[in-house]
Chains A and B, each alone.
Chain A
Amino acid sequence: MRLPRQIIPYGNDALLLKWEQKIAADVNAGVHAYASMVWENDAVIESVPAYCSLLVRYNASKTNAYKLKEWIYQLTPDAAPDRKSRLHKLAVVYGGEYGPDLETVASQTGLSTEKVIELHQKVTYRVYQLGYKPGFAFLGETLPELAVSRRDNPRSKVPAGSVGLAGQQTAVYPHICPGGWQLIGRCPATLWDVNRDEPARLQAGDRVKFHAIDAADWEKTAKKTATWKV
């Protein structure tokens, strides 16, 4: 388990824990272990994990930056309870109107569109962090061959379910929102339901595996994956 390399104050009532600044599964696992462990301190009011850093906000009337930092230093992350990591198998209709940037990705990577689709399904991705928009899950890492830049002109409206690529990251837009990632397909599953206690289907630490389906199976798959079990 990777330990934070640095703990620094962030404003009047928060600490920032920094790991090695890289996108790597073992570093991120360390981040999430600490993200859940810090809740044992009753002065903690917020714990926000990212790729390789963690924001911990505290109630300044119950503790201070120094005390909390010392408390965090004595934590033993290997004893952290294993968070149950769910595996989500998500269907994708690749290309065409579902993935308007598939051709661009193919030409940027020098691969055929078939190869892009094949490589995107090859990896079981890790949910590194949630952010940008409610329930937006950053998945990584894609194979190095699939690395692409963001679009020069971000779209003002990306359809819900769109599957995007940026750098060595991939993601499914949970709802309609602006976005600059290269869209290669669309996923019919519901990923965001504001009426649930936990509206986001994908949680940090979960795993995601994509599989291709035909456009003809969209409706059937959408119905089957309209909801999810916790």
Chain B
Amino acid sequence: MEGLIHLECIQPGGGAYLVDQGRPGKRHLGISQSGAADDRAAQRARELLELPEDAVLLELSLSGGQWLLSGKGQFAITGADMNWRINGRPIEAYTTIDFDGDFMLDGGFATKGCRSYLAINGEWEVNKLMGSVSPGLPEIPQITTAWSATIKAGNEVPYTSDLDIYQHCPAELTSLKVLPGPEWSLLNQAEQAQLLETTFTVGQESNRQGLRLDWPAEMPAYELPTLISSPVIPGTVQLTNNGPIVLMKDAHTIGGFPRILVASIDDIAPLAQLKPGDKVGFVLG
């Protein structure tokens, strides 16, 4: 029998977004890739519930917020450690959890990582725009208090739990593996060396568009020209007047700041688990 599950936002936490596979391949229209910021944690959440690759998830940044979950079904939470509780009782991440009734899901501040993913077994009844529910188009509604969604419950799946829950939890990324970007050669050798030796702090202004890295006060600013705007992709490190920005899934599609480095493809998902105050450096290779 197909039941309906209801999810209501009591408090959205540090930023809540519905995400799926995003809108890849539309950058030529000015449309960013979007989708889950941390593809790996998102994919693990889908796997726990045997959901298809384009299944909708709720992405929660920095703190989990409060969500009223009603109905009968299964859910799973992956990604950042937010000390999730259900009706006040701690729950395990990376595990399928059965529910039947009305429950308050409650997430605290992320103690490890930055973004959690809530997957619910079923099909979300939400509007897709250009094939996706993810942010990145002006018409996509913001999730705030009183927002709600209905999910058509899916067939029950067997209980799964990652034996060691930390095995899939976001590893703390302390050095970002990078390749030289198109404008790396605009930096002189001393600047290149200094940049690779510096440990940067992730800035408060970071969001799904990009991680802003604070430029250390003692470091001199580099004099770089602005370019005629040219395409950019997630993972690119652009050097702005206020320090480097590492582009993420909602990044702009073209830009004029020098693209000094490009993150290795394997480091793009873990990037999304860095939060303001975290330290990160660059390693060429």
Contacts and interface: CB of A to CB of B under 8 A. Distances in A.
Interface of A: 8-14, 16, 18, 21-23, 35, 45-55, 57, 129-136, 138, 175-177, 192, 194, 199-200, 204
A134 B136 contact: yes
Contact of A194 (B24, B129, B262): B129
B111 interface: no
B126 interface: no
A35 B228 CA distance: 18
Interface of B: 24-25, 27-31, 129-130, 136-139, 179, 181-182, 227-231, 233, 235-236, 252-254, 259, 262-265
A21 B182 CA distance: 13
B206 to A, nearest CB: 18
B34 to A, nearest CB: 11
Contacts of B24: 46
B228 A11 contact: no
Contacts of B259: 10
A18 to B, nearest CB: 8
Contacts of A204: 28
B182 A8 contact: yes
A134 B228 contact: no
Nearest to A135: B30
A194 B28 contact: no
Most buried by A among B25, B138, B263: B138
A75 to B, nearest CB: 18
B262 A134 contact: no
A11 B265 contact: yes
Given A130-B28, A132-B254, A194-B137, A13 B265 contact: yes
B137 A131 contact: no
24 contacts: A10-B262, A11-B236, A11-B262, A11-B264, A11-B265, A12-B265, A18-B230, A46-B25, A48-B254, A51-B229, A129-B229, A129-B254, A130-B29, A130-B30, A131-B253, A132-B30, A133-B30, A134-B31, A134-B136, A135-B29, A177-B138, A192-B138, A194-B137, A199-B29
Contacts of B31: 134-135
Contacts of B253: 48, 130-132
Nearest to B263: A11
A134 B29 contact: yes
Nearest to A22: B228
B28 A47 contact: yes
A200 B30 contact: yes
A8 B228 CA distance: 17
A54 B231 contact: yes
Given A8-B182, A194-B138, 4 more contacts: A11-B236, A51-B229, A134-B29, A135-B31
Given A11-B265, A132-B254, A175-B138, A46 B228 contact: no
A44 to B, nearest CB: 10
Nearest to A200: B29
Most buried by A among B138, B230, B264: B230
Contacts of B25: 45-46
Contacts of A14: 233
B30 A136 contact: yes
B254 A131 contact: yes
B138 A11 contact: no
A48 B229 CA distance: 12
Contact of A51 (B179, B230, B233, B264): B230
A12 B30 contact: no
Most buried by A among B139, B235, B236: B139
A53 B254 CA distance: 10
Contacts of A35: 28
B229 A12 contact: no
A22 to B, nearest CB: 7
A35 B29 CA distance: 13
A211 to B, nearest CB: 25
Contacts of A12: 179, 262, 264-265
A16 B30 contact: no
Nearest to B27: A48
A200 B29 CA distance: 7
A10 B29 contact: no
Contacts of B129: 194
A129 B256 CA distance: 13
B252 A132 contact: yes
A25 to B, nearest CB: 14
Most buried by A among B227, B228, B259, B265: B228
Nearest to A16: B182
Contacts of A10: 181-182, 233, 259, 262
B228 A194 contact: no
B254 A50 contact: yes
